[in-house]
């Protein structure tokens, strides 16, 4: 008798579970909620720190590039895809004249951005459709890479490092 | 104007034209041909709509959009797919068994399409209301197993052969509960004619609202298995057998199998609507709307097909042994119990045979 009871109970429980499953899918079907991004028509803003494109920062106030042609980026580049030249102007300050970055060999490792000590090279997130029709278009010069940093992305002054004053919590109990 | 009147008017008009052309002698040929062409056109369009609907249903169940590029709401996506399939190269394996290989897709399509003959869409709108309609449908749609077996065998491909064998085991097993679930209806109504079963439900309750609801669920489950659809799609399990029996088919031949599968869904859903959901009868509390019976029938048909689609996109595929367990240890005993209980009730109510 117990076995027969168990048999029908199993069937009923299984049937109820199937109904539960169907209710979940039907709920999603009726809600008509979609998470699809229809890419060419709608574009998601990328995170501000995403490595999408390398740009040369142009200072609008001084009307010149931040770059001083110190060659640190060219030395840091593992593929040697950065070529740049600079001159010393009348005031004795170094100034960049030509800057060429060959994106066909660039691997976006970011070493040049790290090496730059004058806040002249940076990754930008808003420009990420980098494909071109001709291979020659991948060799970009300073005019193509010119980028004026918008105000909301201006670097914040570094906060002084906090010194841990309190003694570390008792680790071993 | 009811649907029956419209059909009769059209028929009279065609007969009049034929009579005027002096061709009244061949009316007995023209009539069935016209019926077949009309049914084929309707079925093709409806299958295209169903493919679109299935893609939309599955998409929204998974928080996607689904086809939305070709035509409004992507409605012409299936048309584009059909055109692509028909102009595609027909790749054939060299060591195939030519005759079964060629016949199989045709048989898969014809066997299910022939089932549409006895489906009553409205009172009087039926190609041929056979007095053995239910038996005819069960018999003719079983031919698909031959088509699938010969497709699996003649492809000369081990995955196709495995798919064919699995299909044979599955369809033979699920044929039994399918028929047994319909037996109580036949016992109650005393007719095998589908129109007669609907007429009986007009006078009584629909069978879904009586104790035959159990039979409805058994029928839907077995019909899903008959149509080789998920969760019973082990004959064509993509992750196990590549494509199963239609691995080696492409182009139009594949389209025939695809069409056959969808027509099988339509036929079994139409039988479920006719037998359990009152066919062309309006919903009990919406009878004041006075819509044509055809509209009610199609609405119920789409609801049942939605149910079968929801099964596919909700439940995981059964393992082969679980499939057999479920068929033989659950569905068949319940169906037999239902037959016995129905007979007992009839005996009590009528006080002896």
Picking from A21, A35, A36, the nearest residue to B315 by CB comes out as: A21
Picking from A18, A29, A38, the nearest residue to B61 by CB comes out as: A29
CA distance B34 to B22: 18
The domain ranges of chain A are 1-32, 53-151
A36 touches A45 (CB < 8 A): no
Inform me whether the pLDDT recorded for A80 exceeds 60.
yes
Preferred mutation among A19, A25, A34, A36 to probe B, highest tally of B CBs within 10 A:
A25
Tell me how far the alpha carbon of residue B342 is from its chain's centroid.
Answer: 26
ipTM of the complex: 0.74
Instruction: Note whether A29 contacts B334, CB cutoff 8 Å.
Output: no
Average pLDDT, integer, range A140-165: 76
| Nearest chain B Cα distance for residue A54, angstroms | 34
A95 touches A69 (CB < 8 A): yes
Preferred mutation among B65, B312, B332 to probe A, highest tally of A CBs within 10 A:
B65
SS3 of A97, please?
strand
CA distance A64 to B122: 82
Instruction: Note whether B62 contacts A21, CB cutoff 8 Å.
Output: no
Instruction: Note whether B330 contacts A11, CB cutoff 8 Å.
Output: yes
Indicate the helix (H) or strand (E) that contains B222. Answer: helix B213-226
CA distance B86 to B34: 24
DSSP state letters, B257-282 = HHHHHHHHHHHHHHHHHHHHS-TTPP
Q: Which positions of chain B have pLDDT values less than 50?
A: none
Helix ranges (H only) for B237-331 are 238-241, 251-276, 293-314, 320-325
**Edge-to-edge strands, sheet with A139-141:** A82-88, A94-102, A139-141
Picking from A18, A21, A29, the nearest residue to B60 by CB comes out as: A29
Task: Please state which architecture CATH assigns to domain A53-151.
Answer: 2-Layer Sandwich (3.30)
Tell me how far the alpha carbon of residue B293 is from its chain's centroid.
Answer: 20
Burial class (CB in 10 A: 0-12, 13-18, 19+), B352: exposed
* pLDDT at residue B260, as a whole number: 87
Best CA proximity match to B116, nearest among B266, B226, B222: B266
Torsion angle, alpha carbons of B307, B276, B34, B28, to 10: 160
Picking from A21, A22, A35, the nearest residue to B63 by CB comes out as: A35
Q: For residues B343 and A165, which has the higher predicted lDDT (pLDDT)?
A: B343
Q: Place A20 in a pLDDT band, splitting at 50, 70 and 90.
A: very high
B187 touches B346 (CB < 8 A): yes
pTM of the model: 0.79
Inform me whether the pLDDT recorded for A172 exceeds 60.
no
Tell me which chain A residues have a C-beta less than 8 angstroms from the C-beta of B311: 22
Best CA proximity match to B109, nearest among B223, B219, B244, B252: B252
Instruction: Note whether A28 contacts B57, CB cutoff 8 Å.
Output: no
Tell me which chain A residues have a C-beta less than 8 angstroms from the C-beta of B217: 15
């Amino acid at each position: 008798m117990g076995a027969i009871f168990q048999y029908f109970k199993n069937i009923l429980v299984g049937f109820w579970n199937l109904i539960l499953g169907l209710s979940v899918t039907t709920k999603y079907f009726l809600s008509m909620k979609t998470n699809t991004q229809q890419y060419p028509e709608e574009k998601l803003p990328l995170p501000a720190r995403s490595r999408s494109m390398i740009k040369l920062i142009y200072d609008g106030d001084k009307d010149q590039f931040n770059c001083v042609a110190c060659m640190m980026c060219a030395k840091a580049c593992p593929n040697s895809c950065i070529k740049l030249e600079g001159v010393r102007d009348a005031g004795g300050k170094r100034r960049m004249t030509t800057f060429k970055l060959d994106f066909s060999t660039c691997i976006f490792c970011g070493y040049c951005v790290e090496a730059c000590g004058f806040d002249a090279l940076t990754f930008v997130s808003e420009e990420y459709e980098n494909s071109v029709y001709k291979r020659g278009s991948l060799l970009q010069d300073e005019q193509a890479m010119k980028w004026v940093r918008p105000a909301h992305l201006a670097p914040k002054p570094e906060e002084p490092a906090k010194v841990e004053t309190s003694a570390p919590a008792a680790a071993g109990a | 104007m009811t649907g029956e009147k419209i059909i009769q008017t059209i028929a009279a008009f065609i007969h009049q034209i034929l009579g005027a052309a002096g061709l009244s002698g061949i009316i007995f040929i023209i009539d069935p041909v016209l019926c077949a062409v009309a049914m084929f056109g309707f079925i093709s369009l409806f299958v295209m709509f169903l493919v679109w609907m299935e893609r939309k249903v599955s998409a929204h169940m998974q928080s996607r959009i689904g086809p939305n590029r070709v035509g409004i709401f992507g409605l012409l996506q299936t048309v584009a797919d059909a055109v692509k399939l028909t102009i595609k190269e027909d790749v054939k394996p060299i060591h195939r068994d030519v005759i079964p290989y060629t016949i199989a897709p045709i048989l898969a399509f014809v066997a299910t399409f022939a089932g549409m003959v006895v489906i009553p869409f409205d009172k009087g709108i039926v190609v041929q209301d056979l007095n053995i309609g239910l038996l005819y449908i069960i018999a003719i749609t079983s031919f698909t197993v031959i088509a699938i077996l010969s497709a699996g065998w003649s492809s000369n491909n081990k995955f196709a052969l495995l798919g064919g064998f699995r299909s044979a085991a599955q369809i033979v097993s699920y044929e039994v509960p399918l028929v047994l679930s319909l037996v109580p209806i036949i016992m109650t109504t005393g007719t095998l004619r589908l129109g007669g079963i609907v007429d009986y439900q007009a006078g009584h309750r629909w069978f879904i609202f009586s104790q035959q609801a159990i039979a409805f669920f058994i029928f839907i489950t077995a019909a899903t298995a008959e149509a080789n659809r998920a969760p019973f799609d082990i004959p064509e399990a993509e992750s196990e057998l590549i494509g199963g029996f239609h691995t080696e088919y492409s182009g139009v031949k594949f389209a025939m199998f695809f069409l056959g599968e969808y027509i099988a869904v339509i036929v079994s859903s139409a039988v479920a609507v006719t037998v359990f959901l009152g066919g062309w009868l309006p919903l009990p509390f919406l009878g004041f709307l006075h819509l044509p019976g055809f509209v009610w029938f199609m609405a119920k048909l789409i609801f049942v097909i939605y149910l079968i689609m929801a099964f596919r996109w909700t439940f995981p595929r059964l393992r082969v042994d679980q499939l057999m367990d479920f068929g033989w240890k659950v569905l068949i005993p319940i169906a037999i119990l239902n037959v016995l209980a129905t007979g007992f009730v009839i005996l009590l109510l009528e006080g002896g045979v």
